Structure 1
């Protein structure tokens, strides 16, 4: 599909694949599209590289890990200074950076480029997220601009993301957000299907209305949900959704690593991302069907029941559901972007997050017009603040919070599956709370591990454990002999274990 997109934009493309069947299919598609003159099928690497001028630009998309390593290794004899290798796979950013370090001494650039849009985007224009050496990005940007999707303002959905593995990191965050949105929507579908007993046509119409106007306007994943709900079996005896197995196979065969990495990176960066994590755990649980069957036989299961509503209440609940899904989607964006901003600062990639939002306006799976406009205003007005301290975003969350709570309460009463919506509600409860129950946890940690703890009366400091430098008045006499010692050299922590003030150098 990408070869056809390039050829359709006036670019001559030489293609090679280890599968003859894949090459044959590509040639056939090029012929049908009237692009055969620009798509040149090559039988091996020798033919591929001889067909190219210089400097050469290679683009490949493969399963992450070893397949990419093998291709880079096989290409090395043909690479010369100035060549550029573009990895369009869903690759781990650290693997990308190791390959960049390996090729850089030879004057060869390795660009990790996230590509979003699926096979349709690959054919008609994807959102592109390239990251790597600046000189290489500047070389290929005109080419990528030709094939990138165009947003409603005619702008190409591609930008120089940043240095290192930033392109693949941004795509990883994109996919983490994507998984969260998909979970919120599928939970909404179950509520309508199993708890409100709506048929596929009715549910499809609800999703269509959500996409047409309001906060979920122009959301790609919502837009495809209506047609999915209305699709009938071939026998026309019912809706196809009820015959699809409830297993996300990508996570069963390890072909999709980005969801796993997004959650691991969030934990490592100390960014709470429960909406993304809950969505991923749902996918993981769904994948192992045999295990679920075994547990069902021993533990049993709870099936969603009907939500009893008085006449006229269904429309109110559906509006609450729309707002609940919206605030969950918004929370997924907030959690993903918080992760992106934190790691961007740590790695020094120089990513401009507002540009990332812009290139997600078309061609990508998490396209959401209303939310993109919201973040545009947010970055223009309150850049530098935490996303949940920005006026526009906070206003949206406050507006929809009651609806999210209503939906979660009614869904839990009906035993519906609501991992993402519930996790989002809890996230909003604790992320801004200044009175969490974790003071008890802190006391437990000190009780068995002598970790120490701070008192509420002490100033709040951005310090790690054991680095509090507050000196309580009650121990001034005890340390009077240390008055000439710089205060920063001493740490004081109250401890349950000793039941007294302790100090150490």
Structure 2
């Protein structure tokens, strides 16, 4: 059998669909999984395609042409290290080993260092798009070193999602840049999902919208400035019938307790370490944590009678305000994530091109949206842009949407509805837009009780006062 051009370890949903994607593009590929059932399933689904499956790790490596291009799609953590230990004796200098899972970027740094003396190129690559993306074209964020990427470029560009600006893959940056970028992507994803949830809560509880109306609203929004994957699938969610009782909609019988795998939390942790404010992402993580307290929430909810619905604007005005509020919040989510990515690039010497990252997020990935077109323009015009709010055109666009957000927040507060990400988005925008804040008082307090010193507006240096 001919030598395969690419190898895949882990033939679950994502791995198998990426294999079939490659095969559809004429790429000869070999797969390996400890499960013989997964091996058989690959061969069945790949019948008639240039696909083969190996029974052992050694046979798998020997089935590949050199330099070997091997991707692991296995659960993050110890399993990745176990696979590296198993395959390492069969590899040689110049081979490329890719971790395509959601590994923490510090683990990727450690693995790069561990393999450095072997000459094996280790690539941490974020992959976004889910099952459909893997099969039809994902967004991919590889990092590591340019020599390793050069051996992958032609294959990855063929299988990536395609937009008018090119394939949704690029060499993101040095070291763990790929996994760091995917982590930030996921943090933004957390924030936007929570935003949509907050908007949904107001439409349902204050606007009294039925599922059919909710479907129509989100479908309409997806035709304009809010066009995005998450808005698109949200519209579809409201039409899905319950598998158990077809007279009900599935969304109404799903428990309001949101799960998470930790990537949003990782984003918040890194942002705190780098002193980059990402409150929209932080609040989205906290909201999922709070949702887990289902029993406690129900007990507290029973303390008082449900308040009467209050709404000072008519339904169409409310929907228009919610549109602008969602746009504003989505923009802030991107702004905070990209600010963090820029800071991390400088701190960790990733050399990330933010405009290129935004470009590859335009197709295939979960946070793709039409808004990214305007965001990319800002970074193309100024590659050193620290924060998107410094782009006056984009800033003025949010100024126009602010009134709608304020209306929505007032409505939510009048109706006792929590809107943590919408609220934090407005606070972030207003604080970042204020040249003279009230933080001088904090410095006075710190110097008062701890002699921590303060700076002055009229002199250089640090000062201390003996407070009375």
TM-score, length of structure 2 as denominator length: 0.92
Q: Aligned partners of 1:14 and 1:381: how far apart in 2?
A: 43
Q: 1:357 to 1:400 in 2, by over 3 A?
A: same
Where does residue 227 of structure 1 map in the other structure? 236
Where does residue 163 of structure 1 map in the other structure? 174
Shift of 1:162: 1.1
Q: Secondary structure at the match of 2:366?
A: coil
Mapped pair 1:127 → 2:139: yes
Aligned pairs for 1:129-278 within 5 A? 129-151=141-163, 153=164, 155-213=166-224, 215-217=225-227, 219-234=228-243, 235-249=245-259, 251=260, 256-278=261-283
Q: Aligned partners of 1:5 and 1:302: how far apart in 2?
A: 55
Aligned pairs for 1:428-439 within 5 A? 428-439=429-440
Where does residue 5 of structure 1 map in the other structure? 21
Alignment partner for residue 58 of structure 2, among 34, 39, 46?
46
Where does residue 495 of structure 1 map in the other structure? 465
Mapped pair 1:91 → 2:103: yes
Q: Aligned partners of 1:427 and 1:133: how far apart in 2?
A: 36
Where does residue 424 of structure 1 map in the other structure? 425
Aligned length: 450
Shift of 1:429: 1.9
Q: Secondary structure at the match of 1:113?
A: strand
Where does residue 79 of structure 2 map in the other structure? 67
Q: 1:24 to 1:305 in 2, by over 3 A?
A: farther
Structure 1 range deviating more: 355-364 or 8-17: 8-17
Q: 1:429 to 1:104 in 2, by over 3 A?
A: same
Q: Aligned partners of 2:43 and 2:335: how far apart in 1?
A: 43
- Residue segments in structure 2 that go unaligned for 5+ positions in a row: 1-16
Mapped pair 1:406 → 2:401: no
Where does residue 485 of structure 1 map in the other structure? none
Where does residue 112 of structure 2 map in the other structure? 100
- Residue segments in structure 1 that go unaligned for 5+ positions in a row: 460-467, 469-491, 500-505
Whether the 8 Å contact between 1:304 and 1:414 is mirrored in structure 2 is no
Shift of 1:302: 7.5
Shift of 1:230: 1.5
Structure with bigger gyration radius: 1
Shift of 1:174: 0.7
Q: Secondary structure at the match of 1:281?
A: helix
Structure 1 range deviating more: 301-310 or 160-169: 301-310
CA deviations over 1:395-422 (Å, ceiling 9, x no partner): 1110001111110111111111211101
Q: 1:58 to 1:71 in 2, by over 3 A?
A: same
Mapped pair 1:112 → 2:124: yes
Whether the 8 Å contact between 1:195 and 1:305 is mirrored in structure 2 is no
Q: Secondary structure at the match of 1:58?
A: strand
Q: Aligned partners of 1:208 and 1:272: how far apart in 2?
A: 32
Q: Secondary structure at the match of 1:15?
A: strand
